A and B are shown apart, each in its own frame.
Chain A
Amino acid sequence: MTTLPVDPATTPDAVSAPAPTPTPQAEWRTLRGRNVGDRLYRVTLTALALVLPLLLVTLLAELVIGAWPAIQRFGLPFVWTSVWDPVAGVFGAAPMIFGTLASSLLALLIAVPLALGVAIYLTEFSPKWLRQPIAFLVELLAAIPSVVYGLWGIFVLIPFLRSYVVPPLRAALGWTPFFSGVFYGNSLLAGGIILAIMIVPYIAAVSREVLLAVPANQREAAIGMGATRWEAVWTAVVPYGRAGLIGAIILGLGRALGETMAVTMVIGNRHDISLSVLQPAYTMAAAIANEFSEAVGDLHLAAMFEVGLVLFVITVIVNAFARLLIWRVARGTAVGSRAL
């Protein structure tokens, strides 16, 4: 890419003094058009490259068309009103938007330290013979179907939370709004923990690759300057790979935002906004999975489409924000910044 000369037509030199002999660029242009196979190849590749953006645009258009009756009826207040009454035909998605963001955030709070810990241990501290087995087991978590996570949540996690985790939590922090109210079991907390377990393998696997790609001389230099291994990791290795690590976290977040089955089984599916993580909540993906198939009224169906549209837009915003973050963070030479 960088070795190609600048297009002569756009440079002032070429305009003021036309060259009698064809430049390599012009020669390439005339040659390029001659071979039918090459042309066909180029057209095919262009078409393939355009299919995905086109699919995205079609998806967006389809969502807008499907959601149109609801958009017309409720307008912007759809995203900040809380009543969801299919019988009366009144729909507001604020509780689901809140629940989606809150459960994903909670999942990140739990998953990021865990996943980074796993990745750092595996690349920096673990004995060689243990690396592959642990990495394999962590990645195996990603292969478990989400409905199995949901069942595990109902039968193991929630009773465990009820007996051993929530009572001390409430004793210590019950005075804050985040741990108030009666705990039924199915809750934002349960949903967040399930999501955290589900996204750990993604964040851990990508983080591990990023940390492995950090050149050994970064570590050697830090240790050579008298740093402990702990200091070497936090001053030389992690900052070097920061762009890649943020990318790994965003990948996990993207997955958390869209996860449906496991979350709906443990989050309580309640159209309500509560700051307390002990209270039931709802997510957009769960609501679509739950109500779409039995949405009888046209407006109900349109509202479901609009929920899908909002989820789509939020995902795009999160990804754009992540891109921005990586771009700002990666203004240096950081591992993974080019890949992302």
Chain B
Amino acid sequence: MKTTRLLALAALTLAAPAAAQVKLNGAGATFPSIIYQDWMLSYNKTHPDVQLNYQSIGSGGGIRQFSDGTVDFGGSDAPMSDSAIAAIQGNVLHIPTVLGAIVIAYNLPGVSQQLKFTPDVIADIFLGKVTKWNDARLASVNPGTSLPATDIVVVHRSDGSGTSFGFTDYLSKVSPEWRSKVGKGTSVNWRVGLGGKGNEGVAATVNQTPGGIGYIELAYATSNKVLFGQVRNSSGKFVTPSLESVTAALAGVLKTLPPTTDFRISITNPDGADAYPIATMTWLLVHKTYADIAKAKALVQFIWWAETDGQSRANELGYAALPKQLRPWIESRLKSITVDGKPVWTTAAR
């Protein structure tokens, strides 16, 4: 009985390319859109019967379109809230795809050494409590650097963004005052500073403003030669942001997680001696149950390909890859996706 069904399914799969093209539409976060486009292009070359399409309209828009059923899958830099999940009867899985790091970029004429920042100083700068570059607390962790008495000009994102979410999530963890006064979100009520639109807006404003400080995606900062500092992690070590240190950060977090996690986790300020503390994760949002078997199958296959073969493209494109330990966890989530109560994951999916 079971074998005949499998055979039928296999026959269906074999016949599918000739019969019809599968079109999968997605929309959401802008941060991972570069690697998603890259994945979809390469995947389409080996699977010409599957057409994938991703529109980078922002996490908020992605969650909305996914919840309304306008798209087959969504993308988001911030996990869905409990109420948003309840609104679609819990029919969602968060699948992590790639990681990113957020760097503290600054522009301080006359200072050539890489500056070191402690979590409390970063929080107080963005709260507007530390206002001069020669602040005693900043000077104490940067011995040997003569800091000028320049005003600090804070630059934050003006557009809602996953980068802001990751950064404010980090500040909420390291500063109780930040948590109670500002909190975390894709856009928050900034206490001080200028708003720049996009990573490019923040980078340009920091670069053009003597005394400027801001937060930028690592990929953007390295490709545009923006100066950024080291940040002290939870083990007390100052770490220079790098893609490897972010992958290490998630590996550290995984040890403390139950295998049944829904992946709506935060990887900022993790344990681990070499972990860079301001790390972000981005998710694909998929349904637990689909109506169309061909679509569900193609989607599961694509995601599994992205989580395995696709990961090798990450570093080159400026993203941190997922640690290998995560694969069996993701596999079990993909296996739980069903159509008519039957899982769509078959051996053919590999």
Contacts and interface: CB of A to CB of B under 8 A. Distances in A.
Nearest to B211: A184
A331 B84 CA distance: 59
A204 interface: no
Contacts of B81: 296-297
Contacts of B161: 294
Given A88-B189, A291-B187, A294-B159, A182 B60 contact: no
Contact of B197 (A85, A184, A269, A297): A269
Given A268-B194, A268-B195, A269-B195, A294 B201 contact: no
B105 to A, nearest CB: 15
Interface string A170-210: 00000000000010111000000000000000000000000
Contacts of A186: 194, 196, 205, 209
A294 B61 CA distance: 6
Given A86-B187, A86-B188, A86-B189, A290 B159 contact: yes
4 closest Cβ pairs, A-B complex: A294-B160, A269-B195, A293-B58, A269-B158
A84 interface: yes
Interface string A133-152: 00000000000000000000
A66 interface: no
A185 B189 contact: no
A264 interface: yes
Given A269-B197, A280-B194, A293-B58, 17 more contacts: A83-B189, A85-B189, A86-B160, A86-B185, A87-B182, A87-B189, A154-B208, A158-B208, A184-B153, A268-B195, A269-B194, A270-B194, A290-B160, A293-B61, A296-B160, A296-B185, A297-B81
Interface of A: 83-88, 154-155, 158-159, 182, 184-186, 264-265, 268-271, 280, 282, 286, 289-297, 300-301
Interface string B190-211: 1001111100010011001100
Interface string B45-83: 000000000000111110100000000000000100100
A282 B187 CA distance: 15
B151 A271 contact: no
Contact of B196 (A84, A269, A292, A294): A269
Contact of A87 (B159, B185, B201, B208): B185
Contacts of B185: 86-87, 296
B184 interface: yes
Nearest to A261: B197
A260 to B, nearest CB: 10
Contacts of A158: 208
A294 B186 contact: yes
Contacts of A294: 58-61, 159-162, 186-187
A271 B208 CA distance: 21
Contacts of A268: 194-195
A290 B164 CA distance: 13
Chain B's interface size range is 35 or more
B60 A301 contact: yes
Given A159-B208, A293-B57, A293-B58, A87 B188 contact: yes
29 contacts: A83-B189, A86-B187, A86-B189, A87-B185, A88-B189, A154-B204, A155-B208, A184-B153, A184-B209, A186-B196, A264-B158, A265-B197, A268-B195, A269-B194, A269-B195, A289-B159, A290-B160, A290-B187, A290-B195, A293-B57, A293-B159, A293-B160, A294-B58, A294-B162, A295-B186, A296-B63, A296-B81, A296-B84, A296-B160
Given A290-B158, A290-B160, A296 B189 contact: no
Nearest to A295: B60
Contacts of A270: 190, 193-195
Interface string B105-120: 0000000000000000
Interface in B108-167: 151, 153, 158-162
A292 B186 CA distance: 11
Contacts of A85: 188-189
A154 B182 contact: no
B270 interface: no
Contacts of B204: 154-155
B183 interface: yes
Nearest to A286: B158
Given A296-B60, A301-B60, A271 B194 contact: no
A86 B78 CA distance: 14
A291 B189 CA distance: 12
A336 B162 CA distance: 51
Nearest to B77: A294
A127 to B, nearest CB: 41
Contacts of B205: 154, 185-186
Nearest to B188: A87
A60 to B, nearest CB: 22
A184 B61 contact: no
A271 B189 contact: yes
A83 B153 CA distance: 21
Contacts of A295: 60, 160, 186-187
Contact of B183 (A84, A88, A291): A88
B209 A185 contact: yes
Give the one of A85, A184, A282, A296 with max B CB within 10 A. A296
A1 to B, nearest CB: 50
